[in-house]
Amino acid sequence: MPDEFAVPETGQPVAAVPVEAAAPAKKTSKGLLIALGALAILVVIGAVAAVLVLFVFQTSTDNSVEVRVPEGQTAQAGTSATTTETAEAGSPAAAVSNSEVFTFRDIFAPLVGATSTETSATETTTDTVVPGDYAADTLYLIAIGSESGVPSASMIWNSQTYTLNEGDTIPNTPWKVFDIRTSDVIMLYGDQQVVLSVGQGISK
């Protein structure tokens, strides 16, 4: 027997110490948490997939929205009770498909088509002022209208009424009509521009 296995003082060989049987691996809570986390993730993914599948199949088979018409209406608080309106009871409105309701709309496209209005040969503006007491040396714009498509303005200067077109002047004054618009007139007082609205007066 070699000396390396002997006890130095006694020279006796070292007795082998029995090795304890290997302890079984302890279950850790870390592994359990990982397994539960993976299971939770799979459940969430499955739920999202199920919702998407149901949404796709529902929109392809049931593509209509039911519109219900109210049975009747009563007067609101603050209104007279004699002006109650009731809606006619009838059949429900026709079904409207989702694609008709939930579609992209161009926000820059006009909602209402262009309307054209025909004008008569002689028309007057609805904005007028009733003549009354007018101050001296004050120019008043009474009304704006048009005759045969030519805009005109009715003005009062020193209790005298004038109907003027663009470019006309008030006699013996520096006032000249520069531009007639729908609700106001731009006047020239010499070289200075002055804007007069219907019913407004100005003195210089």
Cβ neighbours for 97, distance < 8 A, ≥ 6 positions apart = 63, 64, 65
Q: Are 92 and 75 in contact (CB under 8 A)?
A: no
Q: How many angstroms separate the CA atoms of 180 and 166, rounded?
A: 6
Q: What is the pLDDT of residue 129?
A: 47
| Domain boundaries of the chain, sorted by first residue | 32-67+89-111, 122-203
Which tokens go with 133?
């007491």
Task: Pick the closest to residue 203 from 153, 140, 154, 161 (CA basis).
Answer: 140
Class assignment of domain 122-203?
A: mainly beta
- The values of phi and psi at residue 118, to 5°, are -90, 135
HEC assignment per residue over the chain: CCHHHECCCCCCECCCCCCCCCCCCCCCHHHHHHHHHHHHHHHHHHHHHHHHHHHHHHHHHCCCECCCCCCCCCCCCCCCHHHCCCCCCCCCCCCECHHHHCCCCCCCCCCCCCCCCCCCCEEEEEEECCCCCCCCCEEEEEEEEEECCEEEEEEEECCEEEEEECCCECCCCCEEEEEECCCEEEEEECCEEEEEECCCEEEC
Q: What is the pLDDT of residue 126?
A: 45
> Is-above-0.75 flag for pTM?
no
Tens of pLDDT along the chain (204 residues)?
A: 555 666 666 666 666 666 555 555 556 788 899 999 999 999 999 999 999 988 887 765 555 556 566 665 554 544 444 444 555 566 777 887 777 777 777 778 776 666 666 655 555 544 444 555 677 888 888 999 988 889 999 999 888 899 999 999 988 889 999 999 988 999 998 889 999 898 888 887
